[in-house]
Structure 1
Amino acid sequence: MDLAAWHLTHDLDDFLTRGTGFLRSRPALHTVPLTVTDMLRRQGLHVYGDGAPLFGTLEDARGGVRAVLFHTPPQALSLTPLAAQDAMALAERLADLRHPVTRISAERDTAEAFADAWPLRTGVTAVLDARQRLYRLVELAVPEPPPAGRARVAGPGDRELLMRWHDEFVVAAGLRMGREPGEWADARLAYGGITLWEAPDGTPVSMAGATPEIAGQVRVAPVYTPAHLRGRGYAGAVTAEVSRAALERGATEVLLFTDLANPTSNALYQRLGYRGVADFATYAFED
């Protein structure tokens, strides 16, 4: 494989010019690069961290794109599916450039191939950090009967609550902080991107978010219910409402990720009508 086939750049516009057609060709599988690069375009290159983002397109001799990467340090390097030899070649290229990679997140086989190759070039140890499944909504099944209460779109008066629940969700899910909670809440409130389920007395008891529609796809995230309120159907009800609203606004693909280590959430989303698309993995690299 010719390593020069990877076109690497720090220029988001250059990347989007080269890669947008490829990303839009499979919007479900490419939901993460579509939504992340859209956020970078709208909010600025340092939304997810102070490091300079790196973008890449793997191009054939005719300029056709068959894979992309993006890296917004200190977050994980993200790849679209690659053949094992291409993932190994990319690890070699990035190691030669001394580009720091502390985590990799990709479709399972791609992540495994890169995680096998990167330690050979850098001397680090690869540790499986998370396993996820991407689901697509096939036919929405609204929970019956729903829990008491109703859904409503979060507004400015909910900002402090959203900030607190954002932090609690990050801890509960074992995630790394991607954005400051205030910035995250403001960005979601700006487009009505969080829906709350509230009890009959008006107390919020659960939330579900959705990304802006791009290339016909919307991804549901995050879904969070405080620990003491779980098991009452709130998460299912608010997820169903967010999913319904996305379809009503014209989304052709409604997607979400689940942690495969959480059988409760996987079973819930399947009951709502979501079906598996692909499995993903995240590896951390440790000295």
Structure 2
Amino acid sequence: MKLHRFDDASQFYERVKDYLLSQEALHSLLLGICNTLIHNPQFYDCQPYLATVEMDGKIVAVAMRTPPRRLILSKIEDFAAVEAFAQDLHSHHEQLPGVSGLAAEALAFAQAWQAIANQSYKLEMQLRIHQLNKVQPIPSSSGDLRLASEDDYLLLVDWYKAFAIEAFGFVEGNEERKVKHYLSQRSLYLWQDQVPVSMALSRVLTPNSGSIGPVYTPPEYRRKGYATSCVAALSQTLLDQGCRSCFLFTDLANPTSNHIYKTIGYERVGDWNDYCFT
């Protein structure tokens, strides 16, 4: 078993793409980060951590980190790789705020990191990964989906901050840059019912797949079906653009979102957990 680190995102992706694409839904977050690192590296401030663990020339695990964010793990074929990643990060004096990954993988790393770095861990968020291949017909709310524009910039920044506080309990501080980037990529959409009432981000990950999220509806516009209609229409837009599948994450603490996405046609493919280190 051998750990390999990569300094070049393109070389890293060439090495890991077959492994990640073999289970696109489970690896949608990693694929999205690879895409950004290759095509828009200025989006991140620091050099990323990109690594594989291989056995007999075959990848058994992939890890990525874009500081100051958490470490992100792929599906792991041999859990001895968890120890290898933890030892490597600790030997390079990496300060980790946490780890994200499939439930078993994330917990295994959190336990390994606690043993090596003497940092305790806490389960911060339980998420579920969903996949859609066909949009199911649903009653549509009043309004229409539209591409967000520069005129929506200030509104979108406010909504991104509100989403961050609601989802994570804090504002990252880079919402302005995020919104500018996503507007330039034509990735942000709004559901408009005379005024904007819901927001969703879409990204094409590979020629075969796209992802949706975050999705945010201000409190005053909730329980009117706007988010459901927004996600359904945006999912269909991605399929019409050539994607075979769409992926999204839901918070298991929010049963409403898990239910409404199921009615659209999203099905569970895996559970994903976020741990923080203290």
Would the TM-score normalized by the shorter structure come out above 0.5?
Answer: yes
**Change in 2 beyond 3 A, CA 1:274/1:176:** same
Secondary structure in 1 aligned to 2:46? coil
Identity %: 31
CA RMSD of aligned residues (A): 1.7
Inter-partner Cα distance in structure 1 for 2:186 and 2:11: 30
Work out the CA distance in 1 between the residues paired with 2:235 and 2:259: 16
Amino acid at match of 1:90: F
Contact 1:75–1:178, Cα closer than 8 Å, also in 2? no
Distance, in Å, in 2 between the alignment partners of 1:243 and 1:283 is 29
> In the alignment, what sits opposite 1:147?
141
Shift of 1:32: 0.9
2:89 counterpart (84, 90, 94): 94
Matches within 5 A, 1:1-287: 2=1, 5-44=2-41, 46-48=42-44, 50-61=45-56, 63-82=57-76, 83-144=78-139, 146-174=140-168, 177=171, 180-199=174-193, 202-286=194-278
Q: Deviations over 1:145-184 (max 9, x none)?
A: x222222111121111111111111111116656722221
| Residue type at the aligned position of 2:28 | T
What is the number of equivalent residue pairs in this alignment?
Answer: 277
Tell me the distance in 1 between the aligned counterparts of 2:142 and 2:27: 36
Distance 1:167 1:34 in 2: 25
Show structure 1 runs of 5+ residues with no match.
none
Residues 194-233 of structure 1 deviation map (CA, whole Å, 9 limit, x = unaligned): 221111xx21111111112424110111111001110000
The answer to whether the 8 A contact 1:10-1:55 is kept is yes
1:140–1:244: 8 Å Cα contact kept in structure 2?
yes
Q: CA shift at 1:65, angstroms?
A: 2.1
Structure 1 position 107, deviation (Å): 0.5
Cα distance between partner residues in 2 of 1:260 and 1:58 = 30
TM-score (norm 1): 0.91
Q: Spell out, residue by residue over 1:33-91, the C-alpha distance to the aligned partner (whole angstroms, 9 max, x if none).
A: 111111111221x524x332110012222x22232111111101001012333213322
8 Å Cα contact 2:145/2:234 also seen in 1:
no
Gaps (5+ residues) in structure 2? none
Letter in 1 for 2:213: A
| In structure 2, C-alpha distance between the alignment counterparts of 1:176 and 1:71, rounded to whole Å | 20
**Alpha-carbon displacement from aligned partner over 1:230-287 (angstroms, at most 9, x marks no partner):** 000000000101001001111011010001111111111111111100001111110x
Matches of 1:169 and 1:237, distance apart in 2: 19
SS at 1:211's partner residue? strand
